[in-house]
Amino acid sequence: MFVLATAAVLLALLLAVIRAIRGPTVFDRVLAGNTVGTLAILLLASIGFLTGRPEFLDIGLTYGLLNLIGTFAVLKFFRHGDLAYDVDENKEGKAWK
């Protein structure tokens, strides 16, 4: 049963990585990266059950939190061209292209 779950997660991971490679825009890649993060949590959980070492889940939780921060950092950079962007400073932002 856990083998099935692991196989499904790996297949989904493969497809997400293909999307990340094909792009075409940076937002497709960020989206694929975010999905890879979600799938990594699931992979860690199912491998933990598969090998009888459920402590892997703690790593998964940490990975999920870091994944969110990473996604925001990339999005913020591509939206404002700056990680320390201040809303009051510039209403329009500098659309980075």
Partner 1 sequence: MEVIADAISWILIALGSFFLVSGAIGLIRMPDVYTRMHAASVIDTLGAMLLILGFVFQAGFSLLALKLLFVIALLFFFGPVASHAMAQAALHAEIEPLLAEDRRGRKVPGDDEPEPGGQPEGVPST
Q: Which long-range contacts (CB under 8 A, 24 or more apart) does 44-53 make?
A: 46/2, 46/5, 46/6, 46/9, 47/6, 49/2, 50/2, 50/3, 50/6
Among 51, 66, 68, 90, binds partner 1 (CB under 8 A): 68
Q: Does 58 bind partner 1 (CB under 8 A)?
A: yes
CA distance 55 to 44: 9
- As measured in angstroms, the least distance from the Cβ of 15 to partner 1 is 4
Q: Does 21 bind partner 1 (CB under 8 A)?
A: no
Among 21, 84, 86, 97, binds partner 1 (CB under 8 A): 97
Query: 3-state SS string over 47-79?
Result: HHHHCCCCCHHHHHHHHHHHHHHHHHHHHHHHH
- Summarize as ranges the residues that interact with partner 1 (CB under 8 A): 1-2, 4-5, 7-9, 11-16, 18-19, 25-28, 30-32, 34-35, 38-39, 41-42, 45-46, 49, 54, 57-58, 60-61, 64-65, 68, 71-72, 75, 78-79, 93, 95-97
